[in-house]
Amino acid sequence: MHLCVIGLDCVPPELAFEQMAMPNLRALMQRGSYGRLESVVPPVTVPAWACLATGRDPGALGIYGFRNRTDYSYEGLTLATSHSVREPAIWDRLGAAGVRVIVVGVPPGYPPRPVHGVQVSCFLTPSASSPYAYPAALRGELEARFGEYLFDVSDFRTTDKPGLLRRIYAVTEQKFAIVRYLMTNHPWEFLMFVDMGPDRLHHGFWRYHDPAHIKHPAPNPFPQVFPEYYAFLDRQIGSVLDLLADDVAVLVVSDHGARRMDGAICVNEWLRREGFLVLREEPREVRPLEPSMVDWTRTAAWGEGGYYSRITLNVRGREPQGILDPAGVERVRGELIQGLEALGDETGRPIGTRVYRPEELYSDARGVPPDLLAIFGDLYWRSAGSVGGGAVWARENDTGPDDANHAPFGIFVAAGLALPPGEVPGLRLLDIAPLIARHFGLDVEA
Interface residues with another protein (CB under 8 A) are: 44-46, 65-67, 70, 78-79, 81, 83-84, 86-88, 92, 96, 110-111, 113-114, 123-127, 130-131, 134-136, 152, 155-157, 200, 203, 288, 304-307, 382, 384-386, 397-400, 402
Cα distances from 195 to residues 236, 313, 319, in angstroms, run 11, 36, 39
Closer residue to another protein (CB): 12 or 65 = 65
Least Å from the CB of residue 114 to another protein: 5
As beta bridge partners, residue 4 has 191, 250
φ and ψ of 312, to 5 deg: -120, 140
Could you give the CA distance from residue 67 to residue 303 in angstroms, rounded to a whole number? 13
Quote the DSSP letter at residue 243. Answer: T
Contact 107, 49 (CB under 8 A): yes
Q: Minimum distance from CB of 261 to another protein (Å)? A: 9
Output 29 or 46, the one with its CB closest to another protein: 46
Closest approach of Cβ 121 to another protein, in Å?
11
Q: How many other CB atoms sit within 10 Å of the CB of residue 73?
A: 12
Residue 377 vs 385, nearer CB to another protein? 385
Going by C-alpha positions, the residue among 239, 218, 225, 186 that lies closest to residue 25 is 239
Q: Supply the minimum distance, in Å, between the C-beta of residue 417 and another protein.
A: 25
List 78's β-bridge partners, or say none.
68
- Between residues 227 and 434, which has the closer beta carbon with respect to another protein? 434
Nearer of residues 126 and 162 to another protein, judged by Cβ: 126
Least distance between another protein and beta carbon 424 (Å): 31
Distance CA 107, CA 125 (A): 10
Shortest Cβ 7–another protein spacing (Å): 17
Q: Which residues contact 252 (CB under 8 A, 6 or more apart)?
A: 5, 6, 8, 25, 28, 237, 411, 412, 413, 414
Chain-centre distance for alpha carbon 113 = 20
Residue 207 CB, nearest distance to another protein (Å)? Answer: 14
- Strand 257-260, strand 33-38: pairing: unpaired
Q: Which is nearer to another protein, 17 or 91 (CB)?
A: 91
CB closer to another protein out of 24 and 386: 386
